[in-house]
Structure 1
Amino acid sequence: MSSVIAYTNHSDPLPARAVRLAAALEEWPRRTITLSEVWDVYATADPASAMRPTRRAELATTLEALIAARLITCSRTRDTSATPALPTRLTLPSAQPSPTAAALARTIAWRPELAWATSARLTLGQVEVLRAVNVWLRDRGRDDDNAPLRERSLEVFGYEKRLDTLLGTSLFAPDRLSLTLLRTFRSRPPLSTRRVGDGPVMLVVENADTFDTLSRVLTDAPCEVGWIAWGAGAAFEASVASIADLTEVRHVAYFGDIDADGLRIPTSASATAARDELPPVRPATGLYQLLLQAGVPQPGQPRLSQDKAAELTSWLGEPHASQSAALLTRGCRLAQETVGKRLLLTAPQWRDGLHWPTP
């Protein structure tokens, strides 16, 4: 396997270290990156360099290679605290298919399962992902063992959460990568549930204290809620799959904080439920209404754009979506702990949305 590729419009080779750094920089969340941040990314892309006395000179050479390949541009100001001088800031292009990545893909002897990589429009980062898969298929491709997603991710990429970030990308598509090819599967994290009645509805609550309060109230005064579950924050995005084991559940109502994370979680879980043909995840409308009426906005959150706020709150439906979006654009949130036992006992309308909707 070749360790170098040709620069775009240049004849000199691009070293493997430069390819790794370019691939890592593609995942940087901003278009600019400071030198101190470059050092952190470089440590990930080339961890063996940490103990080498020539590390600074190697980084300088690597950056020069990326500049020559037009994969980065750099500021005119230099850090002269040591030799050689290094640019204090880099500007990165947006991650997109490039001739450099295509050239690299053509140097690799792909396994038959990845032969499509030679003609696909890929970024350098995607080529590096496929290279890791290629090595795994070569070394372990004939094994017949299946492993949970994060175990396989650690084995293939050295990082257990790498596959989580890749599943929604163009690398996973028909005739490309698949869970079957990698002989892996999404495990179903356990969902902490408590039986509180005989109804077909499950109420999922984001935070532990509100889960405890609603458990006690629903046990004392049952309705159509048969189960109450503690979503454990973002864990519900994965543990929603465990509802498949509760065959008596026909409808899932969710109640969480009104903030960016609190709304992203049920939106993601709802999409998973739809994809896996599970009972739909809908908002517990009465509880959200009570939270919006009684909650005191807490400032200090990032101010979201109107488009982003509308995207996050759309799962709530109107009028709660517009009311919640107004909070997010002001940088405010509402904590679900507002809906305590005293409030629940004095406002029975909170049970709206906790019934099994009939067709």
Structure 2
Amino acid sequence: MPDSGHLSTRDQDFVTALRSRAGHGKSKTAKSHKLGIGAVKELYRSVYQPRGEQEYEPKALLNCLNRLKGHGLLRLVGRDDGERVALPLAILIYRQQEPEEAPLPLPPLVETLSWLADRWSRLRPRHQAVYTAVNEWMLNHPEPHPAPLCERALEIFGKPKFTRWFPEPEKAFRSFSFGPYFSDREELRKLLNVRDSQPPLLTERYFGGSEESGYASMDSGNILMVVENHTTCWSMAEALEGIDHGLKHLAWGIGKSFVRSVASILPKHEVDVIRYFGDVDASGLAIPIGANARAEESKLPEVQPAENLYDALFSLGTPSPGKEKPLSATQAEELAAWLPDQHRGRAIELLMSGERLAQEWVGLRHLSTTQVWHRDVQ
């Protein structure tokens, strides 16, 4: 097993640089990545900064590579690169191995999951985390309100203690293998009381006028409400059924697509107000800002934040680590300036820390049981 113990700080920095360069754009599952000697020399100079004539670089580099080889961190490939001191033509640098996860203790189980007790010790720690999170959620929600899949996932896995397994908790059900005992997805949906919320077909009037759909009609006003993610868009349409509102159109923005599609609004769409609701992270704020600039060019109404929906998100949401790198104070302030005054400070903190708030925290249950957010659609 590769061992980086007892290496100097510079040796450790060199190994990190080699892994980063060799693995860039490569498979994340490969055990090693190949790197040519030219790139190895370049990285060696940047890390060790050899002092010209006082140190013969090929000899020092070869000693370094042999030292790292002795620790099992790399393998030398090829015989000679033509130097007076023969260097390999390339190296194979081994990927850093993930530390073994410690098993989780068996929690007090709800009756529905009591059968897990006899099987717990045979589960992988990652699967134990799944069942721990689901069990904890069931203890706190014995009669759960129906919810779309992404919203339910956020409720279950959106706590900081589950972040290491589910960095994007609202997407956990999309990509995670739930192990041998939750493999029947239909049974799992029944267990968690999940409702179907498929993305809508894209038409000019996304949800309007369809009596069979059960959705609210979107033909009563002059407001275009754009929602970044389709689950929240679906939940909003469901919650508006039978409610007086001022929406002409309710639209799924399809993430960054809204920046370009806003220019497709025409006079026939009868839109006088555009409001937007999305995630609070770098891209989630850049989208409406970019769309607003495009709207201004097209002489369209300003893209405004749905103030009461953002009020709910900052109140209900639990931050999770984002995929985007932390921003500088200046960058964070520029993005947060689009939000209502009361949320700018908190948004700046999130952006500078690299954290995010997923809009799915404002889910069907909240939208169906509260009315304050109706001000955004009136």
TM range (shorter): 0.3 to 0.5
Relative to the length of structure 1, the TM-score reads 0.47
Computing the radius of gyration from Cα coordinates, the structure with the larger value is 2
